[in-house]
Amino acid sequence: ILLNNRALYERSGTFPPSVIDYLAQKLRAENDADINRYLADLPADDRLLETRKIMHRDLHRH
C-alpha cells in the first residue's frame, strides 16, 4: 500500500522518496504478511498474549 500510494505521500514534498524507500524496506523486513491469520487461529487468551508480545517488542525496538 505504501509503495502503491507513494506519489500521494511524496506530493508537494510531504515525504522525500528516501523516507518512503526506508520505510518500505523496514516493513518488508518485518516478514509478517501472515501474522493476522496466525493470530486469528489462536485461542483468545493466547492471541492477547502474542499481541502484547508484538507490541512490546515493537515499542522498544527503536
Indicate the pLDDT class of residue 17, thresholds 50, 70 and 90: very high
pLDDT in tens, 24-61: 998 898 888 899 999 999 999 999 999 999 888 877 77
Residue 4 has pLDDT above 80, yes or no: yes
- The arithmetic mean of pLDDT across residues 13-28, rounded, is 94
28 alpha carbon, distance to own chain's centre: 8
pLDDT of residue 62: 60
- Please report which confidence band the pLDDT of residue 19 belongs to, taking 50, 70 and 90 as the band edges: very high
Indicate if the alpha-carbon torsion angle 12, 13, 15, 17 is positive or negative.
Answer: positive
